[in-house]
Structure 1
Amino acid sequence: MKQPLILFLCFCAFSFAEAQGKYFTRTGHISFYSKTPLEDIQANNRQVASVIDFSTGEMVFSVLMKSFEFPKALMQEHFNENYIESDKYPKSTFKGKILNIQTVDVQKNGSYPVEVEGELTIHGVTKPVKSNGTLEVKENKIYGKSQFTVAVADYNIQIPKLVRDNIAKNIDIQVDMVYEPFKQ
């Protein structure tokens, strides 16, 4: 299966001189939502790999596009074959940094607002993104949440005229992660 390889590559994005301060997940959840007068579309992916290095603020995400699940099989087929072209662009990635990492105390339970910026790659196109989110420290786990919007056109995703009114021009993305300490 490709997931262990992607997780390994995700970890390789960091230089692991020491494991202290690093948290990871390979079962993160990312969903997206498209709302139009004709149709609402929602998809979920619960196989997202991600790592946060709390000593530097660096973070990375790797998302297998074929792991998005839709309520209708035909939607999933169109998403993978016609729009995202998952065979050609099998994953989406984010590489960035938590700008205010010094405000997060992983040793103290609490909720911490964070600012994240980096580069998001979808459909072979990389764009800078910036978003706010929340990291909640609770019982030696980190719960990360964020919401942001991406414009379909920014990532060269072509929507056929026939269904153009069924898919929103801007897609809402929701990120919901549960990180655990990385142990070598």
Structure 2
Amino acid sequence: MKYICLILLAWLSIKNQASQDLYACKNVKVSLFSSAPLEDITASTSTGTSVYNPATGDLAFSVNIRSFQFPKSLMQEHFNENYMESDKYPKATFKGKIKETIDVTKNGTYPVTATGDLQVHGVTQTRTITGTAVVNNGTVSLSSEFMVKCADHKIEIPTLVFKKIAESIKMNVSGTYTVAKSS
């Protein structure tokens, strides 16, 4: 995990050499929810990593697919082996930019929109994702809820189980960022 965070920090540092603070979160929480006629499926992880540069709006995020925990071990096994092919596609990532400027020196709640590349299951889609930023005494909390269509990322759902897994999965992502580096 430290390696992933260092890569994200390096990517943002190289991208913009100007003097500024970068914000990092090493425990981004990600949950997924699939509502289907026969069964609801939930899973979560709190091991995502992310870096945010408030001066440029750059945002990078990564989560290890195998870190998702399910209430039933068989669900977890099927998720990793049959649908997400976690050995072949071990991570989901987002690299983009928050459109709005967030004043990290002023406490408040800000609606935000991030546009960038979401890569899941080896397939990259350009996405615009809405969310909320909350600044509180030097920390920045980012959160979002959005849908991911399985077909958009070539995640195949066998017809035998199509009533157990929804075609779109609801994702919730949240993290609290603190200053990671001053240039």
Q: What TM bracket, shorter-length normalisation?
A: over 0.9
Q: 2:84 corresponds to which residue?
A: 84
Query: Would you say the 8 A contact 1:19–1:183 is kept in 2?
Result: no
Q: 1:162 corresponds to which residue?
A: 160
Query: Would you say the 8 A contact 1:6–1:62 is kept in 2?
Result: yes
Summarize the Cα distance change of 1:130–1:55 in structure 2 as closer, same or farther, 3 Å threshold: same
Tell me whether 1:9 sits opposite 2:19 in the alignment. Answer: no
Q: Write the deviation string for residues 32-73 of structure 1: whole angstroms up to 9, x where unpaired.
A: 110012111111010000000011000000110000111111
Count of aligned positions: 180
SS of the counterpart of 2:23? Answer: strand
Distance 1:154 1:132 in 2: 19
Query: Would you say the 8 A contact 1:23–1:180 is kept in 2?
Result: yes
Q: Which moved more, 1:158-167 or 1:8-17?
A: 8-17
5+ residue gaps, structure 2, are none
Q: Write the deviation string for residues 128-168 of structure 1: whole angstroms up to 9, x where unpaired.
A: 11111110001211111111111101100111222111000
User: Which amino acid letter does the alignment assign opposite residue 141 of structure 1?
Assistant: T
Q: 2:134 corresponds to which residue?
A: 136
Shift of 1:19: 6.5
Q: 2:150 corresponds to which residue?
A: 152
Moved over 6 A (4+): none
TM-score between the two structures when normalised by the length of structure 2: 0.94
SS of the counterpart of 2:163? Answer: helix
Tell me whether 1:116 sits opposite 2:118 in the alignment. Answer: no
Tell me whether 1:67 sits opposite 2:62 in the alignment. Answer: no
5+ residue gaps, structure 1, are none
Alignment of 1:98-109 (within 5 A): 98-101=98-101, 104-109=102-107
Q: 2:33 corresponds to which residue?
A: 33
Query: Would you say the 8 A contact 2:21–2:181 is kept in 1?
Result: no
User: Which amino acid letter does the alignment assign opposite residue 71 of structure 1?
Assistant: P
User: Which amino acid letter does the alignment assign opposite residue 175 of structure 1?
Assistant: V
Percent identity (aligned):
44
Shift of 1:4: 1.6
Summarize the Cα distance change of 1:112–1:86 in structure 2 as closer, same or farther, 3 Å threshold: same
Query: Would you say the 8 A contact 1:19–1:182 is kept in 2?
Result: no
Shift of 1:76: 0.6
Tell me whether 1:20 sits opposite 2:20 in the alignment. Answer: yes
User: Which amino acid letter does the alignment assign opposite residue 135 of structure 2?
Assistant: V
SS of the counterpart of 2:74? Answer: helix
Query: Would you say the 8 A contact 1:135–1:144 is kept in 2?
Result: yes
